[in-house]
């Protein structure tokens, strides 16, 4: 159905293997033949059959991306940047959305390996089972795997991530500078693993009292989690002057709950988010937030893995950390 090397060979009156070599610019083939073959290939609109190529071990020009979700602007940014970077180098992207589920992450690792992708990017993973699987796969299949913004704690892996502890610390410091001492935290169930402990650490580093009663972790996700957490906090009567949200979407939900209670932002209560999603800038009260360089991270991740693919000799693990920055807008009040 589609054009193969054979078709070109027939027209060029040379052997299939000559065509293959010609198209791959082999020095064994004369320049005239190369030109002639390429012209014919072009004319016939030839595209190599990737399945065949994969079969002889030449790779599939495909990368797998395992990602927990694509509903928050944060992971979407990663997805977008990865895709963007890949289209430049003519790689295809195959994705697996896991919803933070370990089993799914592992399933996708196996699946992608079986599909002989050239490399796998694992974004936002937290599980040691995944780490184990990755170790297994790199050994048996020799597939380069790189962690992006994951918390798989092993120095033996390649990873690139954002120093979130630093980011949260910046948030808390900024609140302290503005006279806030009673600071709460709202997140969803995934917060336990990362940002919530970081918040606790940040409070301690800033010599502020960490009050577990002001830390809310909802079972729902996104805005809903923020809304529910804030409602509960308001009901408890033990209301902080400022809230650090696990991420912007949570902050938006929490702010809504505050509005509904008749509170003014930031006069009555301050909010600081994390992620710097597109919408945050355009809220009635624009959200002050921590902005992680998700795009840079994805870009560097792709570069790292492509490097490993192209040069299998690179065995040294590569580990990169990027610093997020504080974006000051309107949602934090100065109490001094």
Please, which residues bridge with residue 123 across strands? 148
- The per-residue DSSP string of 263-307 comes to --TTTT-EEEEES--GGGGGSSSPPEEEE--HHHHHHHHHHHHHH
Report the C-alpha gap between 153 and 131 in whole angstroms. 8
Q: Coil, strand, or helix at residue 245?
A: strand
Report the C-alpha gap between 96 and 70 in whole angstroms. 10
Pairing of strands 242-245, 215-218: unpaired
CA distances from 12 to 4, 19, 20, 53, 259 (A): 13, 8, 12, 22, 74
- Of these partners, a second copy, DNA, none, which one is at the site of residue 39 (CB under 5 to 8 Å by kind)? none
Q: Smaller CB distance to DNA: residue 34 or 305?
A: 34
Contact 50, 17 (CB under 8 A): no
- Of these partners, DNA, a second copy, none, which one is at the site of residue 207 (CB under 5 to 8 Å by kind)? none
Q: How far is the CB of 171 from a second copy (least distance, A)?
A: 21
Does residue number 76 form part of the binding site for a second copy (CB under 8 A)? yes
Intra-chain end-to-end CA distance of the chain, in Å:
75
Q: Could you say which of 7, 84, 296, 325 contacts a second copy (CB under 8 A)? A: 84
Taking residues 35 to 74 in sequence order and writing x for each that binds DNA by CB under 7 A, - otherwise, the string is -----------x-xx--xx-xxxx----------------
Q: Could you say which of 11, 33, 136, 259 contacts DNA (CB under 7 A)? A: 33
Q: Could you say which of 43, 55, 89, 328 contacts a second copy (CB under 8 A)? A: 55
Contact 330, 271 (CB under 8 A): no
Q: How far is the CB of 38 from DNA (least distance, A)?
A: 13
Q: How far is the CB of 32 from DNA (least distance, A)?
A: 6
Please, which residues bridge with residue 216 across strands? 186
- Of these partners, DNA, a second copy, none, which one is at the site of residue 206 (CB under 5 to 8 Å by kind)? none
- Of these partners, a second copy, DNA, none, which one is at the site of residue 141 (CB under 5 to 8 Å by kind)? a second copy
Helices (H) and strands (E) in the chain, counts: 12, 12
Q: Could you say which of 10, 25, 30, 39 contacts DNA (CB under 7 A)? A: 30
Measured in degrees and rounded to the nearest 5, phi and psi for residue 102 equal: -55, -45
Does residue number 262 form part of the binding site for a second copy (CB under 8 A)? no
Q: Could you say which of 10, 24, 71, 153 contacts DNA (CB under 7 A)? A: 24
**What is the per-residue burial (b if ≥16 Cβ within 10 Å, else e) of 6-42?**
ebbbebbebeeebbbbbbeeeeebeeebbebbbebbe
Report the C-alpha gap between 319 and 146 in whole angstroms. 10
Does residue number 312 form part of the binding site for a second copy (CB under 8 A)? no
- Of these partners, a second copy, DNA, none, which one is at the site of residue 235 (CB under 5 to 8 Å by kind)? none
Instruction: Point out which span in 122-130, 282-290, 302-310, 314-322 binds a second copy (CB under 8 A).
Output: 282-290
- Of these partners, a second copy, DNA, none, which one is at the site of residue 70 (CB under 5 to 8 Å by kind)? a second copy
Q: Could you say which of 62, 218, 270, 333 contacts a second copy (CB under 8 A)? A: 62
Q: Could you say which of 196, 218, 249, 276 contacts a second copy (CB under 8 A)? A: 249
Where does this chain bind DNA (CB under 7 A)? 1-6, 13-18, 20-21, 23-24, 27-30, 32-33, 46, 48-49, 52-53, 55-58
């Amino acid at each position: 159905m589609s054009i193969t090397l054979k078709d070109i060979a027939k027209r060029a009156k040379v052997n299939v293997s000559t065509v293959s070599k010609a198209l791959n610019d082999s020095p064994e083939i004369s320049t005239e033949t190369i030109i002639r073959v390429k012209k014919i290939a072009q004319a016939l609109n030839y595209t190599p059959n990737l399945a065949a190529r994969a079969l002889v071990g030449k790779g599939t020009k495909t990368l797998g991306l395992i990602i927990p979700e694509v509903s928050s602007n944060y992971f979407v940014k990663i997805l977008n940047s990865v895709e963007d970077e890949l289209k430049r180098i003519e790689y295809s992207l195959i994705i697996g959305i896991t919803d933070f589920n370990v089993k799914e992450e592992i399933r996708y690792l196996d699946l992608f390996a079986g599909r002989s992708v050239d490399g796998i990017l694992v974004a936002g993973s937290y599980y040691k089972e995944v780490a184990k699987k990755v170790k297994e796969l790199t050994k048996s299949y020799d597939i380069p795997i790189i962690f992006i913004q994951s918390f798989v704690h092993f120095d033996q892996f390649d990873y690139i991530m954002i120093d979130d502890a630093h980011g949260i610390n910046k948030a808390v410091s900024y609140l302290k500078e503005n006279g806030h001492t009673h600071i709460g935290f709202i997140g969803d169930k995934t917060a336990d693993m990362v940002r919530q402990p970081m918040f606790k650490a940040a409070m301690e580093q800033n010599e502020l009292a960490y009050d577990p009663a002001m830390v809310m972790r909802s079972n729902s996700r996104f805005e809903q989690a923020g809304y529910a957490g804030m409602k509960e906090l308001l009901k408890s009567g033990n209301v902080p002057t400022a809230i650090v949200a696990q991420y912007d979407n949570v902050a938006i939900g929490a702010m809504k709950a505050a509005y509904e209670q008749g509170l003014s932002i930031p006069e009555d209560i301050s909010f600081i988010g994390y992620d710097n999603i597109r919408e945050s800038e355009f809220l009635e009260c624009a959200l002050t937030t921590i902005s992680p360089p998700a795009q840079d991270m994805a870009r560097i991740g792709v570069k790292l893995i492509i490097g490993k693919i192209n040069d299998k000799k690179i065995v040294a693990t590569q580990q990169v950390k990027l610093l997020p920055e504080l974006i000051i807008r309107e949602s934090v009040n100065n109490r001094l």
